[in-house]
Structure 1
Amino acid sequence: MNQLINLLALTALLSGCGTANKNKEDSPVSAERPNVVLIYADDLGYGDLGCYGAGHLTTHHIDALAAEGMRFTRAHASSATCTPSRYSLLTGEYAWRRPGRGIAPGDAALLIDTGITTLPSVFQEAGYATGVVGKWHLGLGPEGGPDWNGEIRPGPLEIGFNYSFLIPATGDRVPCVFVENHRVVGLEEGDPIQVNYKKKVGDWPTGKEHPELLKVHPSHGHNQTIVNGISRIGYMTGGKAALWTDENIADTLVKRAKEFISRNQDKPFFLFFSTHDIHVPRVPHERFAGKSGLGPRGDVILQLDWAVGELMQQLDRLGLAENTIVILTSDNGPVVDDGYQDQAVELLSTHQPSGWLRGGKYSAFEAGTRVPFIVRWPGKVNRGVSDALFSQVDLLESFAGLTGVKTDSLDAPDSFNMLDALLGKTKDGRPHVVEQAANGALSLVKGDWKYIEPHKGVKVMQKVNIETGAATEPQLYNLEEDPGEKENLAANHPEKVKELASLLQSVRAGENSR
């Protein structure tokens, strides 16, 4: 017993914010049982929103969300790419701790162990209805991958969600179908789906073979099976009645999300609304096409803003807005040309998707993981701006603290209970955060200082024109004085390099960071 008490005390001390291992009656707001809507954008940059300084885009609904809540300036996804960030958000564990949690192919098996505590399972234990609508990209099915023509399990329903309506991977990967719970939506008997990421299956044309059939042309890669006039990564055939139309994806996802809210309006619910809009291929609905002046990438940011407005209006109509926490954030930083010729570069004008930060998606520099993060809960979240250091990996323990759900000491090993910071009650952030670049390099931010470990590799990813942050020598930046990471101070502060390198090694070698 004394050992358990000591362990809990140590956990509280390290987190700086108390422990999530509380009884429900000990949680100060658990009786209010707020709904939670987590809007997870894809490839949305720190500088892509009006409330974060974008001058060329008008994002009315998201800006209103920020004006009515707390806008964070130092919030991070855990990785500069999507699959690891999503894994960390849902498990409370840095993805780099688990081999094989990099960017998943479209036919990957489920990457999350069904036996662990997850963000949705915390809500489920607290009596919430839980749902995920949108992009998944965390694998489906058993080892060997999903059976697209049968029951697709394990998946979201096996890790804590009661309902799921998914884009299985990404819009630029096959199969181009929706999966609802355990089945492909609209699949007709007699037209089975075949998917292969190594060799061509069936006789459907590819972008490489028949570029004349394309309405959106690839700039690099993305030249395999054509669906809806767009060539993708991977090969597929079959399932014609189930294929999506890219222009309608946002409408379909918003409709399903609103239906989930309506079905569960009489009980507390958690909705993970995972949008796809800004990820390639960027094919906006005709309502938004050409409206931004920045090409399809700008248009789909307007489409995202519309989606946010639709969900907020649904909450208002049902009288739920006052008792709903709404969070908007992104899975990683921005990228302009990510594989399709959509004029995103040519029409960028003076818009800066990364704002004043350096890098972007894939990068070890700040723009790879520092992303928009907005929290609104009327009367509960203080309005304003917070510079508290926060990571999406903290959401699991924070919401465990909110709902009073007990978590085991081995659960969510990198998640801190940051509830007070999340609600704007304090601007004290987590003690440090680890960032993961696409090349596997890790960085550590503590206070004003950022350390990037030495890593061999290309300095610029030429295809996407983004600096990777790779260097053979250590890098050290003072983010308070130099948020654009322009001056490497490692040679000037060897003691700080040694301190942060040692801390990063300790986090990496340990089983947890809290």
Structure 2
Amino acid sequence: MPTGNMRQTDEKTTGRNPNIVIFYVDDLGYGDVGYNGAIGVKTPVVDRLAKEGIVFTDAHTTSATCTPSRYSVLTGQHAFRNNAAILQGDAPLLIQPGSYTLPGMLQKAGYRTGVVGKWHLGLGNGSIDWNSDIKPGPREIGFDYSFLLPATGDRVPTVYVENHRVVNADKNDPIVVNYEEKLDGYANGLDSPNLLRQGADKQHSNSIINGISRIGYMKGGKAALWVDEEFPDVLTDKAKRFIQAEKDKPFFLFFSFHDIHVPRLPNPRFKGKSTMGPRGDAIAQMDWMTGEVIAELKKQGLADNTLVIFTSDNGPVISDGYDDRAMELLGNHKPGGPMRGGKYSAYEAGTRVPTVLWWPGKVKPGTSKALVSQVDLYASFAALVGQPLADNEAIDSQNLLTTLLDHTKPGRTWLLEESYTTSLRKGDWKYIEPFPKEKRLPDFMANKGVEGGFQHTPQLYDLSTDIGEKRNVSTENPAIVASMQAEIEAIRKKTKRSPVP
């Protein structure tokens, strides 16, 4: 039975806008969760959300890589509109202050807003002093509170940034970061491989922190260094504290996981929770973190007035720079489910990700086959909270609130997917634009083991009979190819929001 305090909190939430929580997991593939057939790892919390909520089987990120996907969720725009690509750890803030953003929109509607976890959208104006106030950042684009990994776990600086400051910064041991030249600081992986706990490729062989070599060079800041194995407890605690602090007001929490991104160093208590080594154990850790936040919502009496989205930032990758035996231990597990490709890829597994909407008592459980995109969260949440949008705000976002809340409703008729080329879904048709002959893929793509789908000729697949995108039918359907290419060009020229088609 709920306590008296829980009943009081329930009464306080009556009649107010719902809280919104987005669990944004990193590199989690369509098949990496139990309800989609994961083998070798259990995800009981996520599976319970799926059983009690709406499961979307055709839900997509906007991009097959992380920075572009995050940009689209927070701006309601496709990443190509700002040339968004994977950023270095010292890159300037990608979303400029004054821009329309999802948290900013919710602030206008009376929400308190917070982001916890991986950021990877840049900080500052291009020359960051890690020993002083770091501005602009999340607080300048709509978040009231932020606790961040500035970029990712595989990039320096390996410190937490809370609001505008590095946590535990020491002025007598200043932090210096450089992505171009070696620093006389921490040992690097190429020169000192004997110090490594995991082998790494050349890209990931710079400064060694916590026995792991990273991308980029760093010196100083010893008191501020994170310990990778502590991520689940540190980040989950910050998310729970945000909920506790803001429970009396409507709030938006963007809980941006580091798991299951490399380097995969799950807490020791999750070791052996899967048959797949660190990658599988990190999935189990992610599931636990999700459960802790859900439990906090229930403890505070907020679950019935909180809309929860569980999803991922792009598709799966097995080998991504470190030797953690992920490929060797994969077994019969299929991270992309029945689909081809994965992270970085133009094929479906690059952007089609596990997606669940959970809102106890407000949505009827079920499975939706509707075509939906994460870019639509912006306009849909605006409709949810009654916040009008300007014509040039969130221009790629469609109001699919009805679709999100009812598994029987249809979704989009078309959807854009970005990778190192552009793809378009229209119903069951999937078109992949030719990869320009004069353009080259990043060097790091050579050792990812991912089918990219980057061909110099058009590709067209009928997903109703070919979910694995094995039979290119472009030559048999030239009119469809021409039409879909024309639609991509029209989307690129778009400057205002358009109604749901």
Offset of residue 493 of structure 1: 1.3
Conserved 8 A contact 2:41-2:280: yes
Conserved 8 A contact 1:458-1:468: no
Tell me the distance in 1 between the aligned counterparts of 2:301 and 2:408.
29
Q: Which residue of 1 aligns with 2:96?
A: 113
Q: Which residue of 2 aligns with 1:53?
A: 37
Tell me the distance in 1 between the aligned counterparts of 2:44 and 2:14.
32
Q: Which residue of 2 aligns with 1:14?
A: none
The alignment status of 1:74 with 2:54, answered yes or no, reads no
The 4+ residue runs of structure 1 with deviation greater than 2 A are 29-32, 456-462, 509-514
Offset of residue 194 of structure 1: 0.2
Q: Which residue of 1 aligns with 2:330?
A: 348
The change in CA–CA distance for 1:350 and 1:147 in structure 2 (over 3 A counts) is same
Tell me the distance in 1 between the aligned counterparts of 2:230 and 2:187.
23
Query: What number of residue pairs does the alignment pair up?
Result: 482
Q: Which residue of 2 aligns with 1:450?
A: 430
Offset of residue 461 of structure 1: 4.0
The amino acid of 2:17's aligned partner reads R
The alignment status of 1:213 with 2:198, answered yes or no, reads no
Offset of residue 250 of structure 1: 1.4
How do 1:210-249 residues align onto structure 2 when only pairs under 5 Å count? 210-249=192-231
Tell me the distance in 1 between the aligned counterparts of 2:230 and 2:291.
17
The amino acid of 2:465's aligned partner reads E
Q: Which residue of 2 aligns with 1:311?
A: 293
The amino acid of 1:451's aligned partner reads Y
Tell me the distance in 2 between the aligned counterparts of 1:165 and 1:461.
31
Offset of residue 496 of structure 1: 1.1
Q: Which residue of 2 aligns with 1:177?
A: 159
Q: CA RMSD in A?
A: 1.6
Tell me the distance in 2 between the aligned counterparts of 1:324 and 1:304.
20
The alignment status of 1:192 with 2:174, answered yes or no, reads yes
Q: Which residue of 2 aligns with 1:268?
A: 250
Offset of residue 30 of structure 1: 11
Offset of residue 494 of structure 1: 1.3
The alignment status of 1:41 with 2:25, answered yes or no, reads yes
1:306-344 deviation line (CA, Å, top 9, x unaligned): 001101111111111111111110000000010000000
1:436-480 deviation line (CA, Å, top 9, x unaligned): 11x2x1000011111101114579943011111111111111111
Q: Which residue of 2 aligns with 1:368?
A: 350
Q: Which residue of 2 aligns with 1:299?
A: 281
Q: Where does the alignment leave 5 or more consecutive residues of structure 1 unmatched?
A: 1-28
Q: Which residue of 1 aligns with 2:410?
A: 428
Conserved 8 A contact 2:343-2:350: yes
**3-state secondary structure, aligned to 1:297:** helix
Tell me the distance in 2 between the aligned counterparts of 1:118 and 1:255.
26
Offset of residue 209 of structure 1: 0.5
Q: Where does the alignment leave 5 or more consecutive residues of structure 2 unmatched?
A: 1-12
When structure 1 is superposed on structure 2, of 103-112 and 378-387 the one drifting more is 378-387
Tell me the distance in 1 between the aligned counterparts of 2:178 and 2:395.
35
1:363-414 deviation line (CA, Å, top 9, x unaligned): 0000111111100011222211101111111111000000001110000110
**3-state secondary structure, aligned to 1:74:** strand
Conserved 8 A contact 1:30-1:403: no
Per the normalisation by structure 2, the TM-score is 0.94
**3-state secondary structure, aligned to 1:389:** strand
Offset of residue 291 of structure 1: 1.9
The alignment status of 1:124 with 2:107, answered yes or no, reads yes
Tell me the distance in 1 between the aligned counterparts of 2:46 and 2:497.
33
**3-state secondary structure, aligned to 1:166:** strand
The alignment status of 1:415 with 2:397, answered yes or no, reads yes
**3-state secondary structure, aligned to 1:310:** helix
Tell me the distance in 2 between the aligned counterparts of 1:296 and 1:427.
39
How do 1:465-476 residues align onto structure 2 when only pairs under 5 Å count? 465-476=449-460
**3-state secondary structure, aligned to 1:121:** helix
Conserved 8 A contact 2:16-2:250: no
Conserved 8 A contact 1:165-1:179: yes
Tell me the distance in 2 between the aligned counterparts of 1:393 and 1:30.
29
Offset of residue 293 of structure 1: 1.1
Tell me the distance in 2 between the aligned counterparts of 1:287 and 1:162.
33
**3-state secondary structure, aligned to 1:280:** coil
1:89-147 deviation line (CA, Å, top 9, x unaligned): 00000011112x100100011000211221101111111110000000000011x2322
Tell me the distance in 2 between the aligned counterparts of 1:135 and 1:102.
16
The alignment status of 1:396 with 2:378, answered yes or no, reads yes
1:190-245 deviation line (CA, Å, top 9, x unaligned): 11000000001123210110011111221442100010110000000001000000
**Aligned residues with identical type, % of pairs:** 55
The alignment status of 1:87 with 2:33, answered yes or no, reads no
Tell me the distance in 2 between the aligned counterparts of 1:300 and 1:328.
16
The alignment status of 1:330 with 2:342, answered yes or no, reads no
When structure 1 is superposed on structure 2, of 214-223 and 59-68 the one drifting more is 214-223
Conserved 8 A contact 1:119-1:396: yes
The alignment status of 1:287 with 2:247, answered yes or no, reads no
Offset of residue 31 of structure 1: 4.5
Conserved 8 A contact 1:89-1:395: yes
Offset of residue 258 of structure 1: 0.4
Q: Which residue of 2 aligns with 1:25?
A: none
Conserved 8 A contact 1:507-1:513: no
Tell me the distance in 1 between the aligned counterparts of 2:413 and 2:464.
16
Conserved 8 A contact 1:220-1:340: no
1:27-73 deviation line (CA, Å, top 9, x unaligned): xx995411111000000001100111213221000000010100101
Conserved 8 A contact 2:67-2:120: yes
Q: Which residue of 1 aligns with 2:360?
A: 378
Tell me the distance in 2 between the aligned counterparts of 1:146 and 1:93.
26
Tell me the distance in 2 between the aligned counterparts of 1:94 and 1:426.
27
The amino acid of 2:324's aligned partner reads D
Tell me the distance in 2 between the aligned counterparts of 1:411 and 1:179.
29
Tell me the distance in 2 between the aligned counterparts of 1:344 and 1:511.
43
Tell me the distance in 1 between the aligned counterparts of 2:183 and 2:113.
37
